[in-house]
Amino acid sequence: MAGVSLRRKHKLSDLIVEDVKRRIVSDRLKPGDRLPNEKDLIEQYGCAKGTVREALKGLEVEGLIVTKTGPTGGAYLTQPTVDHAARALRNFLHFQHLDGDQIYQLRILIEEEVAASVVGRLSENDFRALEDNIALCAHPPQDEEEQRTQRIAELEFHNMLAALCPNPLLAFLGRFLNDLLRDLVVLKKVYLPARGQFGEANLDYHRRLLDAYRREDEATVRRLMREHMCDAHDHLHALEGEVAKRFLLDGPPHGH
């Protein structure tokens, strides 16, 4: 009876989508594995062609399959990217009107764990990439565009560490929170108030973190990252206050 009740509440196409997801987990399916063809799916689920096509479209929208045409055509499993997985959640949170305080309440905890997890895992190529990132932010910005670029590069430093994290959940949360901050920086133009101390502090912490990574000093990495996050939180809080004050005095930009 529970099964009958469930089918009454949900469209059959949605149940097919959920069944495919269950099989991905239970059967340990991999990207590149092919789903049964349309005819076989119709027979398997005892439904109309339109229902199967609706289910396949739903799986495609969620980034779980790609469809190919031709002799080897059909529906193939594909792994959603981090961007695809996070985009809908970020869009949802935009309407919750998050501020920096709320993001940092979690980011302070996550960044410390991500940072500690990659101690001893950085290659020379990783060190060079992080050094290049630091060099991009090592001079005072010449204009508004460069100021924006440097703020985003500072967040990318942390995304580069998240990409090396062996725990996929920690890595996702780190990247997700960094992208939330990037949206906050760009959409609210939090990068606009001139606050050279913020950039200098970020630069100093990143350099000291890199040195601790080279020494594989996990305790120092943890301490520096926590201090860095607390300091960044304080700076962002002050910047948001300046942006809010400017908005009250000048009003929104023309055209908005």
Banded pLDDT at 189 (limits 50, 70, 90): low
Distances (CA, A) of 68 to 30, 109, 145: 17, 43, 41
Q: Could you give all domains of the chain from N- to C-terminal order, each with its CATH number?
A: 2-77 (1.10.10.10), 82-250 (1.20.120.530)
What is the spatial distance between Cα 197 and Cα 185, in angstroms, rounded to a whole number? 17
pTM (global) more than 0.75: no
126 or 234, higher pLDDT = 126
| Mean predicted confidence (pLDDT) in 12-33 | 88
pLDDT in tens, 165-176: 999 999 999 999
Mean pLDDT over residues 1-12, rounded?
51
What is the model's pLDDT at position 241? Answer: 63
Model confidence at 2, pLDDT cuts 50, 70, 90, reads very low
Least confident of 48-52, 138-142, 172-176, 223-227: 138-142
Q: How far apart are CA 130 and CA 125, in angstroms?
A: 9
pLDDT greater than 70 at residue 244: no
Helix (H, G, I), strand (E, B) or coil at 76: strand
What pLDDT sits at residue 243?
54
- CA 49 to CA 43: how far, in whole Å? 10
pLDDT higher than 80, residue 81: no
Residues with Cβ < 8 Å from 209, sequence gap 6 or more? 115, 221, 224, 225, 228
Model confidence at 11: pLDDT above 90:
no
3-class DSSP assignment, residue 75? strand
- Angle in degrees, CA 125, 128, 129, rounded to 5: 85
CA 163 to chain centre: 11
Least reliable range by pLDDT among 130-134, 142-146, 153-157, 191-195: 191-195
What are the two backbone dihedrals, phi and then psi, of residue 98, each rounded to the nearest 5 degrees?
A: -65, 150
> What is the mean pLDDT of the segment spanning 148-153?
88
Residue length of the chain: 256
Given its phi and psi angles, is residue 32 left (phi above 0), alpha (psi -120 to 50 degrees) or beta?
left
Amino acid 29: pLDDT: 86
At residue 190, the 3 state secondary structure works out as: coil
Of all residues in the chain, the percent with pLDDT exceeding 90 is 41
User: What does the pLDDT average to over 99-124?
Assistant: 95
